[in-house]
Chains A and B, each alone.
Chain A
Amino acid sequence: MITVSHLSKTFQDPDGSRLTVLKDINCEIQAGEVISLIGPSGTGKSTLLRALNLLDPPTGGSIIFDGEDILAKGYPVHKMRQKMGMVFQSFNLFDHMTVLENVIYAPCKIRKEPLEKAREEGLALLRKVGLAEKANVYPSTLSGGQKQRVAIARCLAMHPEVILFDEPTSALDPTMVGEVLSVIRQLAKEGMTMLIVTHEMKFARDVSTRIFFMYDGYIHEDGTPMQIFENPHRSATKAFVQRIRKEVFEVNGNDFDFLDMESRIRQFCIKYNIAPKTDLAARLCHLMLTEVMDGYIPMTIRITYSELSGEIALDFMVEGLETTPLKAENATLQEVRSLCREVVEEPTSRGFRVKLRIV
């Protein structure tokens, strides 16, 4: 249904600075697929969606929709958009219209549907999203969740072939996320083709037929929810789906502010609710730097915490090293081993890493 090849998008600021958000996007979307776009913020998920319906026209590549090149000169973009609906993060309901008018305005004006017929259909759609009783009120009186459901009904009223959801629940109070997601779930069940940018991992996993993991302007990994969530191939995907939090320190000289590093490790632990491990992590760092790995500079230290598995680890990485930096077994190293669950020594593509698994 949609074929995207070598799609790129570069934003140019008025001051001349350029920002390439989409670098090289290739994908094929079939009718009936429900695709969730996940990934860290700033990696181009929303931009890809907005490039697809040309709200932010791409700067390179091609998009074939229903066999037509929608980037061709003179292509009637508005005709394409009638078949490709969009639901926005901020709802964008027309504030000067009632709920029902919001839903039937486009069918009446664009498809020239008779008012009575449009009204009937609009009410049916509102019933479907559970808002028929609000048909004649103005959007300002609705809650966020209700507004988003109206927006979905408004989108459906144009009978789109595919719907793009741009973070449909991100602007919502957590208590209202559920009502919107259940409407989307219902649509998925009915076989609607959808692309959904979302941060709701559980929802993405349940509802999608396919997941695009977006990273650094590319579709970094593309697979079924099973593949992406249970068995990600790439480390960035893994870090993301396991919700790995990290803090990195570059020790680049003897003048490095170790006390500051210690405070930041403490802050990190408090932020992710692992405060009981703070002293342990600080102690391990201290031991490693003063005794076990003394003298290896520059060195990169990383503390990571996987929200999914609960694992906390400290990585000590030295570039350009091919063998273990650990000295012969001594009392200090013994202490380190006893304090953590496992000590892993492994070479990496750029050097050598000592990983201390704390929990």
Chain B
Amino acid sequence: MNKTLIGFFSALALVSCAESQQKTIELHSEADLAGLRVATTSGTCYDMELSARNDILLDLYNSDGDLLQSLLNNKSDVIVNDEVLYNANVRKENGIKIAMLGEQGFPTGFLFNKSDVVLARTLTAVQQRMEQDGSMQRLKEFWLTDRFTEVTTFPRLTYEATGEPIRVATCTMSAPLSFMVEGEWYGIEIEILRELGKELNRPLDIQLYSAGSGFLSVKTGLADVLGGCIFITPEREQDYQFSAPYHEFHPAYFVKDADAASDNEAFLSGFKKNLRRNLVTEKRWKYITDGLWETLKISIFSILLGSVLGMGLYAMARSRRRGMRTFARIYNGFMAGIPELVLLLIMFYVVFPKTGIPSDMVAIITFALFFASGASDIYKTSLDAVPHGQTEAGLALGFTRTQTFFHIVLPQAVRRGLPLYKGQCVSLLKGTSIVGYIAIRDLTRAGDIIRSRTFDAVVPLMVITIIYFLLVWLFGLLLQLASPKKKVL
């Protein structure tokens, strides 16, 4: 089975490696973009500007890694991103180059809740001090030029803090802004925020959000400050508070470099190198194991909680009281009608934002609520399928009602319901792959994090696919073991 899988992925990798011979695109001004397929990341200022043009074909991607892949796979001719994101190393490795830099620069800073004036002003003051004592200059020289190669050599600011943590949201997982190496955060923005933390005697609690939910997290008070190359625009200033800009970024137009020496490595050794780069370097396998644990934790607890809630729901559906039955029916209808992701976001941003409940608890509760609905249906189907005559026979033999249920009805119901239950568990396990939206680093998110560092789609996706596959298989096996034995006495 695994052999077939690897074969499948090898084919995929080959397709993605196949390069068409074409000339390097020349760009001299933004007008030259006309008629080209252009791509950028969604929710950025480039997105807004490019969207206004109707002479180009615009595609939007969710992460810097995906954006780069689109260029490499010839899905787009030009990609637009911050000039520093694909540094010299990345450009050389992938055979791309900067065709030109955008004329307009964008001031970039940190975003705060409108009401949080003090924190924003403190950061502005900290930045001013850094400009004066030259530490900002040193930061920029290291991070914003192509000089850095071994990021972990940078002397990070360390301090002991005893205060409340500053809850930092970042919507970028990319060097050199904010990114993870061996579980530690690095990057220019992180270093600036560390200066703020040191000033206030507060540690940093950094969470990764997607672009849209990053803003939401500041608005709802889930995070104190948002970073990740946030441009300061007049529209944003109406809704949020900004600290002073720390830098002005220019958009860069990246194209494929036809002259670059393409790696003519043998496929297998290339694949091995990719494996090492994606899993071994910077202990990246650890994201996967941590994510696996997170996925397992959320799945198992929500299945347990959901199974119990489902019993209550089943009891309500079978209740004599009309109100109870109506509630159960409406609940099930609601859960059947709402997408899991939508409910997850509602729970995180609307129901629980101020309560301080950690996001993995929110995920467990949300998935348990979904599971309860499915589970109650399964209980109903399988218990109702046991003929009433079985209960009567048990009672007539002299079992009590409880004994009859547990000794006679339940074992038969379990036999009928187990395959359905197993299906429900598996679909929940796979469904948890959306928890990345509320800043939980599960298995799927682990793949995203690795991709954002290596700009490689094949290996991380392949690895997590295999792990999900094995998990599902393992779940099935566990439930098989838990199923009642054929022998009853």
Q: Mark the stretch among B173-181, B229-237, B400-408 that contacts chain A.
A: B400-408
A167 to chain B, nearest CB (A): 13
Q: Say whether B412 faces chain A, with CB atoms less than 8 Å apart.
A: yes
B410 to chain A, nearest CB (A): 11
Contact partner of A110 (CB less than 8 A), chosen from B387, B393, B399, B488, is B399
In whole angstroms, what is the CA distance A105 to B415 when docked? 18
Does B398 lie within 8 Å of A82, measured CB to CB?
yes
Q: Say whether B52 faces chain A, with CB atoms less than 8 Å apart.
A: no
Q: Say whether B392 faces chain A, with CB atoms less than 8 Å apart.
A: yes
Q: Say whether A88 faces chain B, with CB atoms less than 8 Å apart.
A: yes
Q: Say whether A96 faces chain B, with CB atoms less than 8 Å apart.
A: yes
Residues in chain A near residue B403, CB distance under 8 A: 78, 109-110
Does B395 lie within 8 Å of A94, measured CB to CB?
no
A58 to chain B, nearest CB (A): 16
Does B408 lie within 8 Å of A79, measured CB to CB?
no
Does A97 lie within 8 Å of B395, measured CB to CB?
no
In whole angstroms, what is the CA distance A86 to B395 when docked? 10
Does B395 lie within 8 Å of A109, measured CB to CB?
no
Given contacts A88-B392, A101-B488, A101-B489, contact A96 B400 (CB under 8 A): no
Does B408 lie within 8 Å of A78, measured CB to CB?
no
Contact partner of A55 (CB less than 8 A), chosen from B396, B399, B407, B488, is B396
Given contacts A95-B412, A101-B488, contact A106 B389 (CB under 8 A): no
Contact partner of B398 (CB less than 8 A), chosen from A88, A93, A110, A115, is A110
Does A158 lie within 8 Å of B397, measured CB to CB?
yes
Given contacts A94-B390, A96-B411, contact A108 B399 (CB under 8 A): no
Q: Say whether A10 faces chain B, with CB atoms less than 8 Å apart.
A: no
Residues in chain B near residue A104, CB distance under 8 A: 489
Does A92 lie within 8 Å of B398, measured CB to CB?
no
| B-contact 0/1 string along A75-99, CB 8 Å cutoff | 0001101100110101011111100
Does A158 lie within 8 Å of B398, measured CB to CB?
yes
In whole angstroms, what is the CA distance A114 to B408 when docked? 20
In whole angstroms, what is the CA distance A106 to B395 when docked? 10
In whole angstroms, what is the CA distance A95 to B392 when docked? 14
A159 to chain B, nearest CB (A): 11
Number of residues from A at the complex interface, CB < 8 A: 27
| A-contact 0/1 string along B359-403, CB 8 Å cutoff | 000000000000000000000000000010110110111111001
Does A78 lie within 8 Å of B411, measured CB to CB?
no
Does A105 lie within 8 Å of B489, measured CB to CB?
yes
Q: Say whether A53 faces chain B, with CB atoms less than 8 Å apart.
A: yes
Contact partner of B395 (CB less than 8 A), chosen from A81, A93, A96, A108, is A81
Given contacts A92-B390, A96-B411, A96-B412, contact A106 B399 (CB under 8 A): yes
Contact partner of B389 (CB less than 8 A), chosen from A79, A92, A154, is A92
Residues in chain A near residue B393, CB distance under 8 A: 88, 92-94
Q: Which residue of chain A has its CB nearest to the CB of B387?
A: A92
Does B489 lie within 8 Å of A81, measured CB to CB?
no
Most buried by A among B389, B398, B399: B398
In whole angstroms, what is the CA distance A108 to B407 when docked? 12
Residues in chain A near residue B407, CB distance under 8 A: 105, 109
Does B412 lie within 8 Å of A78, measured CB to CB?
no
Given contacts A97-B488, A101-B488, A105-B489, contact A78 B390 (CB under 8 A): no
B417 to chain A, nearest CB (A): 13
A232 to chain B, nearest CB (A): 32
Contact partner of A86 (CB less than 8 A), chosen from B396, B399, B415, B488, is B396
B438 to chain A, nearest CB (A): 43
In whole angstroms, what is the CA distance A105 to B407 when docked? 9
In whole angstroms, what is the CA distance A92 to B407 when docked? 15
Does A96 lie within 8 Å of B415, measured CB to CB?
yes
Q: Which residue of chain B has its CB nearest to the CB of A106?
A: B397
In whole angstroms, what is the CA distance A301 to B395 when docked? 49
Residues in chain A near residue B396, CB distance under 8 A: 53, 55, 81, 85-86, 88, 155
Which residues of A are interface residues toward B (Cβ below 8 A)?
Answer: 53, 55, 78-79, 81-82, 85-86, 88, 90, 92-97, 101, 104-106, 108-110, 115, 154-155, 158
Please provide the 5 A-B residue pairs with the shortest distance between their CB atoms, ordered closest to farther: A82-B398, A92-B393, A92-B389, A86-B396, A106-B397
Extra pairs beyond A81-B395, A92-B389, A97-B488 (15, CB < 8 Å):
A78-B395, A78-B403, A81-B398, A82-B397, A86-B396, A88-B392, A92-B387, A92-B392, A92-B393, A96-B412, A96-B488, A106-B397, A106-B398, A108-B489, A115-B489
Which residues of B are interface residues toward A (Cβ below 8 A)?
Answer: 387, 389-390, 392-393, 395-400, 403, 407-408, 411-412, 415, 488-489
14 inter-chain pairs at a CB distance below 8 angstroms, sorted by A residue, are A53-B396, A55-B392, A78-B395, A78-B399, A78-B400, A81-B398, A85-B397, A88-B396, A92-B390, A96-B412, A97-B489, A104-B489, A105-B489, A109-B407
